[in-house]
Amino acid sequence: MITLTAADPAALEAIGQRLARAAGGRCIIYLHGELGAGKTTLARGFLKGLGHRGAVKSPTYTLLEPYRVAGRDVYHFDLYRLSDPEELEYLGLRDLLQGESVLLFEWPSRGQGGLPAPDLELFIEIPKQGRRLRLEAGSGRGREVLRRLAAPPAPAVSGGGGEPSPGRSAGDRDGS
């Protein structure tokens, strides 16, 4: 388990970008949190971290937004409006599980019983200020993602100007 904090939406997006880089290939990620917690903001950061440059819409009404980024399929689900887990079959979920796809599920509890097991579960909590994120591995793949995410970033190569390394952000565990 890893706990991270984000002071603002930009820091939450930055965590999403770091998570994308740590995830590498195929990964199933559950995003938990109440309305307005920042699940879509984190998904936007994840997609940006893979190289997506366009808009990232919340799939609240469509239930699914597909993306093709750097030769990889990413499927962003919002199951808030799902009436029954059996509706996942109409979205073609079984077909989307093939290959090296990344699947991000907001409101996974609405699809309970019809979803694949997660590699990673991310819980977004809203304390008095900012956001607290708890990441828990659900598989060996998830443990590897957490290991990569917890590793200190590589030092930035500088021209000797003494500038701070951009590798750390407000979203880092130690608060630096």
**The pLDDT of residue 163 is above 80:** no
pLDDT at 156: 60
The residue with tokens 């019809």 is 114
User: SS3 of 145, please?
Assistant: helix
pLDDT band for 61, please (50, 70, 90 cuts).
Answer: confident
Does residue 167 surpass a pLDDT of 60? no
76-121 pLDDT, tens per residue?
Answer: 999 998 888 888 888 878 778 877 889 999 999 998 988 999 999 9
CATH architecture, domain 2-150: 3-Layer(aba) Sandwich (3.40)
List the end-to-end C-alpha distance of the chain, in Å, as a whole number: 19
Task: Give 166's pLDDT tier (boundaries 50, 70, 90).
Answer: very low
**CB of 131 within 8 A of CB of 152?**
no
One-letter amino acid of 116: P
| pLDDT at residue 89 in the model | 82
Q: Is the pLDDT of residue 122 over 90?
A: yes
Burial 114-133 (b: 16+ CB within 10 A, else e): bbeebbbbbbbeeeeebbeb
Q: Distances from the Cα of 148 to the Cαs of 42, 83, 144, in angstroms? A: 18, 36, 6
Torsion region of 162: left, alpha or beta (phi above 0 gives left; psi -120 to 50 gives alpha): left
Strand order in the sheet with 27-32: 2-6, 131-137, 120-125, 27-32, 102-106, 72-78, 64-69
Mean pLDDT, the chain, rounded, equals 85
Could you tell me what percent of the chain has a pLDDT over 70?
Answer: 86
Which comes out higher in pLDDT, residue 167 or 157? 157
In this predicted structure, what is the pLDDT of residue 157? 62
